[in-house]
């Protein structure tokens, strides 16, 4: 479960967008065998998604009775979608909204906190700054697992377990995000601009929000997007923290439906399997769309962490 | 900024510059730092504290020193779980990173048609929640309506037993590989894009071919990025939980509640109510990960300066 890994914004490639295109080979140099090999690899990565798309058009009966990689005689995507949304008084919609809320608040909060702290470490010298930064950087290696169970126990005592705070609060602290924002701030916010603003009498908060944050925007968006994914896809933490189905995010909800479908077999809850499949499809659409729409940011954004060491 | 820090002698010795901003640094860092202390260090400390106690039927909670650690180090369920993820790490991670590297080099070579489509397509699984990935592959592997089993039946071949004892670890490795090759590929690809183009031209002038350039220029340039992906993979593999937890429902006879160390800690805490022992196991697992990560870093650094 490498899921909680956030990732990296960028500095160098972002500044030189021209380079992304100028190395293109001429059409004559393109290699057909290599392209075919890569398309074969692509097929492996898209196969499960293709299966999911086909499967979500089938009734539970047809899932068993028709070939998995093609449509059945009676496709019913709309019926499945409607049933997914109305099962258990529309609990799936609730899960979707919960997920959007948890992921949205966590991502915005984590990105702002990391940006402010990264800027603080990059542009100011103060007592203990180095020690504090190294302490946080070391925490990148601390596995979320070692933290999750004791965090649950602490939250349970504080009355925070089984509330939305239990999901949001731990997602706000992103040590790797801080590291990236520090690198980003150092590279993209010139000291001369800060000095000029200070001489003009601008306060530090104003300088940060009006000037620095804007210069750091591509980096902030990248941290935001990857925290969004990490929280959206998180399973372990909400599984531990929540026991009220009304608070579940979509991942825990789907897993609980899958367990029901498994136990029910083809008996009482025979429709559950189709709902799990259709729900799975619905749950991945928003993120895939977000990635496609924001690819300009994250593609130019993924280098920093790997380049600066 | 309402709060001020005591001005130092150094401050006073340099008149004429606005000093106010010197006190602002800690204020920018403070919100993150406070949450970090509360949500990172406090739970760690609490886990360490809990691991020193045992709750007994008679006598309640008592301080037992390092007894829990001694118990864990002799606990075959814990050791097997750690061994299993170690094996998983040794096999799955090299395969995944090698594939990611090959894909990144292929994309960077400029020899591909449809390179944008291929790049995005390979990356897409990263946006799929691991819960959904595990469910999808679980159904694909399945003996009833999985397409692999269906195909085998149609061809009168024995169906593959992806969910059997012998295949399970490999089946899990396939899911994790599917999820993260694209993510690692993008990190490596982004790093390759920052290599100055002039280096390739110079090498080509000296008569270096594509393979020679890949080996002697691109690979060394990728070192930090490879190290980063390797480090993330160490942390990820040893924490393996989501995929086995979900496949456990499909194949309960194969995946036990102590199949991975993380699954074991979870079951101890939430099924077994053994909070103190669960904290011990979590803490030890964290220690294993930190040691493995340092091992990776040290090995990499030693090779850099022979």
Which residue, among B2, B25, B178, B196, would best test binding to A if mutated, counting the most A CBs under 10 Å from its CB? B25
B164 — contact with chain A (CB < 8 Å)? no
- Indicate yes or no: CB of B129 within 8 angstroms of CB of A283: yes
Question: B109 and chain A: CB distance < 8 Å anywhere?
Answer: yes
Same domain, B122 and B259: yes
Residue B174 sits in the same domain as residue B300: yes
Q: State what percent of residues in chain A have pLDDT above 70.
A: 84
Spell out which residues of chain A touch residue B144, defining contact as CB-CB under 8 Å: 64
- CA distance to partner chain B, nearest, from residue A16 (Å): 9
**What residues are paired with B179 via a beta bridge?**
none
Contact call for residues A253 and B132 (beta carbons, < 8 A):
no
What is residue A299's predicted lDDT score, i.e. its pLDDT? 64
Q: Are residues B197 and B242 in the same domain?
A: yes
| pLDDT at A264 (0 to 100) | 61
Name the closest residue on chain B to residue A146, using Cα atoms. Answer: B282
**What backbone torsions phi and psi does residue A124 show, to the nearest 5 degrees?**
-130, 145
pLDDT in tens, A202-225: 889 999 999 999 998 888 888 888
**How many A/B residue pairs have CB atoms within 8 Å?**
343
B57 in a structural domain: no
Residues of chain B neighbouring A32 (CB-CB closer than 8 A):
113
The confidence score (pLDDT) of residue A28 equals 59
Do residues B163 and B137 both lie within one domain? Answer: yes
Mean predicted confidence (pLDDT) in B96-105: 96
One domain for residues B28 and B92: no
HEC string for A237-281 = HHHHHCCCHHHCCHHHHHHHHHHHHHHHCCCCCCCHHHHHHHHHH
pLDDT at B211 over 90: no
What pLDDT sits at residue B110? 84
pLDDT at B173: 96
Q: Are both B157 and B19 inside the same structural domain? A: no
Q: Which residues of A touch B197 (CB under 8 A)?
A: 19, 22-23
Q: How far apart are CA A44 and CA A278, in angstroms?
A: 21
Q: Which CATH number characterizes residue B121's domain? A: 1.10.3720.10
At residue B302, the pLDDT reads: 73
Residue ranges making up the domain that contains B183: 68-304
Closest CA to A218 of A286, A304, A307: A304
pLDDT of residue A304: 52
User: By C-alpha distance, which of B254, B296, B247, B288 is closest to B78?
Assistant: B288
Question: Taking a C-beta distance cutoff of 8 angstroms, is the pair B111, A29 a contact?
Answer: yes
Task: Please compute, for residue A143, the number of CA atoms within 13 A of its CA located in the half-sphere on the CB side.
Answer: 31
pLDDT-derived band at B6, boundaries 50, 70, 90: very low
Out of A19, A114, A142, whose CB is closest to B32?
A114
Q: State how many domains chain B has.
A: 2
A300 pLDDT more than 80: no
Residue of B nearest to A281 (CA): B132
Quick one: B24 and B89 in the same domain?
no
If phi over 0 gives left and psi between -120 and 50 gives alpha, with beta otherwise, what is residue B168? alpha
Same structural domain, B10 and B112: no
Structure tokens at A96: 């979707």
Q: How far apart are the first and last CA of chain B?
A: 51
Q: Closest residue of A to B140, CA-based?
A: A48
Torsion of CA A269, A271, A272, A275, to 10 degrees: -160
Q: What is the pLDDT of residues A78-120, one digit of tens each?
A: 889 999 999 889 999 999 999 999 999 999 999 999 999 999 9
Residue B102 is predicted with a pLDDT of 95
Q: What is the pLDDT of residues B132-150, one digit of tens each?
A: 999 999 999 988 778 888 8
| Dist CA B296 CA B227 (whole Å) | 8
Residues of chain A found within 8 Å of residue B181, distances taken between Cβ atoms: 45
Same domain, B34 and B79: no
Contact A242, A165 (CB under 8 A): no
């Amino acid at each position: 479960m490498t899921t909680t890994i956030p990732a990296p914004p960028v500095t160098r490639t972002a500044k030189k967008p021209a380079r992304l295109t100028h190395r293109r080979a001429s059409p004559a140099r393109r290699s057909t065998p290599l392209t075919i090999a890569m398309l074969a690899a692509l097929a492996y990565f898209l196969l499960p998604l293709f299966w999911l798309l086909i499967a979500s058009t089938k009734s539970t009966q047809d899932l068993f009775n028709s070939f998995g990689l093609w449509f059945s005689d009676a496709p019913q995507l709309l019926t499945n979608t409607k049933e997914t949304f109305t099962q258990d008084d529309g609990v799936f919609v609730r899960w979707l909204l919960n997920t959007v809320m948890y992921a949205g608040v966590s991502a915005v909060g984590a990105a702002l906190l990391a940006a402010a702290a990264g800027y603080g470490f990059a542009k100011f010298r103060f007592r203990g700054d180095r020690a504090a930064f190294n302490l946080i950087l070391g925490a990148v290696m601390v596995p979320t697992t070692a933290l999750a169970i004791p965090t649950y126990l602490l939250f349970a005592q504080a009355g925070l377990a089984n509330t939305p705070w239990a999901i949001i609060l731990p997602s706000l602290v992103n040590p790797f995000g801080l590291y990236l924002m520090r690198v980003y701030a150092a590279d993209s916010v010139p000291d001369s601009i800060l000095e000029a603003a200070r001489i003009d009498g601008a306060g530090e908060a104003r300088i940060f929000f009006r000037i620095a944050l804007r210069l750091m925007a591509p980096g902030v968006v990248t941290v935001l997007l990857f925290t969004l994914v990490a929280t959206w896809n998180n399973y372990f933490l909400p599984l531990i923290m929540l026991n009220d189905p009304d608070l579940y995010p979509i991942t825990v909800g789907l897993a609980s439906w899958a367990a029901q479908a498994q136990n029910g077999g083809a008996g009482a809850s025979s429709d559950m399997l189709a709902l799990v499949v259709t729900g799975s499809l619905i749950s991945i659409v928003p993120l895939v769309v977000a990635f496609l729409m924001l690819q300009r940011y994250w593609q130019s954004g993924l280098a920093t962490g790997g380049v600066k060491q | 900024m309402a709060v001020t820090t005591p001005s130092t002698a150094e401050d006073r010795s340099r008149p004429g510059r606005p000093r106010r901003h010197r006190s602002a640094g800690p204020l920018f860092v403070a919100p993150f730092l406070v949450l970090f202390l509360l949500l990172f260090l406090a739970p760690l400390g609490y886990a360490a504290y809990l691991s020193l106690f045992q709750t007994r039927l008679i006598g309640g909670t008592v301080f037992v020193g390092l007894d829990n650690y001694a118990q864990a180090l002799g606990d075959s369920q814990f050791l097997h779980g750690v061994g299993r993820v170690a094996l998983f790490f040794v096999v799955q991670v090299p395969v995944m990173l090698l594939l990611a590297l090959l894909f990144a080099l292929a994309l960077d070579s400029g020899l591909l048609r449809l390179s944008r489509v291929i790049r995005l397509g390979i990356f897409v699984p990263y946006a799929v929640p691991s819960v959904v990935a595990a469910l999808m592959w679980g159904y694909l592997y399945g003996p009833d309506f999985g397409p692999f089993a269906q195909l085998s039946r149609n061809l009168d071949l024995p169906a593959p037993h992806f969910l059997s004892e012998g295949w399970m670890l490999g089946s899990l490795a396939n899911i994790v590989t599917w999820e993260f090759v694209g993510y690692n590929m993008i990190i490596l690809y982004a790093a390759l894009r920052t290599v100055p183009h002039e280096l390739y031209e110079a090498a080509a002038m000296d008569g270096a071919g594509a393979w020679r350039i890949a080996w002697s220029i691109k690979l060394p340039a990728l070192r930090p990025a490879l190290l980063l992906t390797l480090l993330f993979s160490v942390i990820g593999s040893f924490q393996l939980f989501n995929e086995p937890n979900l496949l456990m429902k499909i194949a309960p006879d194969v995946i036990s509640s102590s199949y991975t160390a993380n699954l074991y800690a979870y079951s101890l805490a939430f099924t077994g109510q053994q909070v103190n022992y669960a904290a011990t196991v979590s803490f030890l697992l964290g220690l294993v990960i930190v040691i493995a990560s340092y091992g990776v870093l040290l090995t990499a650094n030693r090779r850099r300066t022979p």
